[in-house]
Structure 1
């Protein structure tokens, strides 16, 4: 386990921190507290942090342009105005299903948005992974319990995802121009030991940086599924990483105190905090989502 220099970006504990992303143009990191319906905004250069109440559970966002974001929420996709925080429903998603909410999501290089849903109580098989492509939503993979690790190879030709409940990371061949699957998913690796596969992001070398929920670490895998590095995180339930900073070499990691009783939280005092790891990564900037 590597111990890299680590700092606390936000000490405000998230019930379920998730969905971090970074806007290089404004040096701003964004992430969510899903359970509490909060969106965090952190300007890394100044250390300024704002928390925006959303009025609903939400889990991820894609940048549309300098003024707008597409928010993935429990009942659909919302366009959010960055300036004043105003949100307008753009496209419903499972809005008629009170059992589910959104979870992991990421934008493909083509502008297609992969979006995962799951049961609010992690009901088995209640969720799915969808693609928002050219203004329409289609189902990619149904019957998912806990969708996570959605990310894409640098050339856009491979997509990755996991169902955390199955402890399997899948790879699927994609059309790089559309971000849509060309084949059925194949098993890249089976996770064993402590913890579970949670959120992931893919770097410029095609390596997959995965938050190992319940194990206080980030694991780095090769495109062939070999574990190359493990970096310590000062909270047990690390949930999702994102590359941040002007050269995208640092790693932002969200965490959670979900399902912890008082004793467990006392033993894990930084549970729910958001961290910055000096990871010496070769990160990549996130692409913008395309609405049409």
Structure 2
């Protein structure tokens, strides 16, 4: 079903705020943050968010990470800079981790090869954790806190990085966890549910696929948007799957492309982790 019929050029970054019971998402190309009731437009490209508390979000932009006051619509100056020296790159996929940190990927505005990276912000410090990324996506965390997953969409491979149990920093060899080249699928945003299943939106395929922890395809959930971009679990019991999509690259009538979809009773999501500043 359609959750919101405002078409996004590049819908991304859905976030179910657990204390507000509210979905937020972005249209990257329009520089906007949206909720069901509101829309905020900024002077910067914005793409991903985490929740700080009931009143504030942490928002990633092309120059860094900002506090955002929901009631006033005020975006702060960056609390930390990320690639603010490079006007050719922007933020893309991002998510809070179980330790209260925030991971954010960057990429070139025109998806220039290896122009981006993935960073982690934790306790006031930013470190680059993955260099030379073309299209950063699918940043998410296993419920046992053992692994981070991510992809460079251009490779069609989902990577898995072991994490230090105390700090959440990567602490071992990163491996290819799921290779989608043979299936010719392009992974975009992803989320891991409470049972450890990996749910990934597939650009160009109009669906979200769910894979078990060993990489076996468990289910495929179609949506009306050809370019599905990112899923997020939400609703009162976190069983509904919200999926953003894009009109970018669609020729002819747009139909339901770019809209936000809600798939009822799909699974059992993890509560989104709180960002601790």
- Aligned match of 2:33: 39
- Aligned match of 1:63: 51
- Aligned match of 2:21: 27
2:68 paired with 1:80: yes
Q: Distance in 2 between matches of 1:277 and 1:203?
A: 14
Q: Distance in 2 between matches of 1:58 and 1:127?
A: 15
Matches within 5 A, 1:159-178: 159-178=148-167
Unaligned runs of 5+ in 2: none
- Aligned match of 1:256: 246
Q: Does structure 1 conserve the Cα–Cα contact (< 8 Å) formed by 2:116 and 2:132? A: yes
SS in 2 for 1:180: coil
Q: Does structure 2 conserve the Cα–Cα contact (< 8 Å) formed by 1:208 and 1:220? A: yes
Q: Distance in 1 between matches of 2:54 and 2:264?
A: 27
- Aligned match of 2:266: 280
Write the deviation string for residues 186-219 of structure 1: whole angstroms up to 9, x where unpaired.
0111103344000000100000100011001110
SS in 2 for 1:197: strand
2:150 paired with 1:155: no
- Aligned match of 1:3: none
SS in 2 for 1:181: coil
Q: Does structure 2 conserve the Cα–Cα contact (< 8 Å) formed by 1:194 and 1:214? A: no
Q: Distance in 1 between matches of 2:20 and 2:107?
A: 32
Unaligned runs of 5+ in 1: 1-6, 43-48
Q: Does structure 1 conserve the Cα–Cα contact (< 8 Å) formed by 2:156 and 2:185? A: no
For 2:8, which of 2, 14, 29 is the aligned residue? Answer: 14
Q: Distance in 1 between matches of 2:169 and 2:237?
A: 29
- Aligned match of 1:124: 113
Structure 1-normalised TM-score?
A: 0.92
Write the deviation string for residues 107-151 of structure 1: whole angstroms up to 9, x where unpaired.
111011111000000000000000001111100010000011100
Q: Distance in 2 between matches of 1:279 and 1:217?
A: 16
**Residue correspondences, number:** 275
Shift of 1:155: 1.4
For 1:112, which of 78, 90, 101 is the aligned residue? Answer: 101
Structure 2-normalised TM-score?
A: 0.97
Shift of 1:14: 0.3
SS in 1 for 2:114: coil
In angstroms, what is the RMSD of aligned CA positions? 1.1
Q: Does structure 2 conserve the Cα–Cα contact (< 8 Å) formed by 1:155 and 1:176? A: no
Shifted more, 210-219 versus 272-281: the winner is 272-281
SS in 2 for 1:165: helix
Q: Distance in 1 between matches of 2:130 and 2:244?
A: 26
- Aligned match of 1:205: 195
Q: Does structure 2 conserve the Cα–Cα contact (< 8 Å) formed by 1:72 and 1:102? A: yes
2:87 paired with 1:98: yes
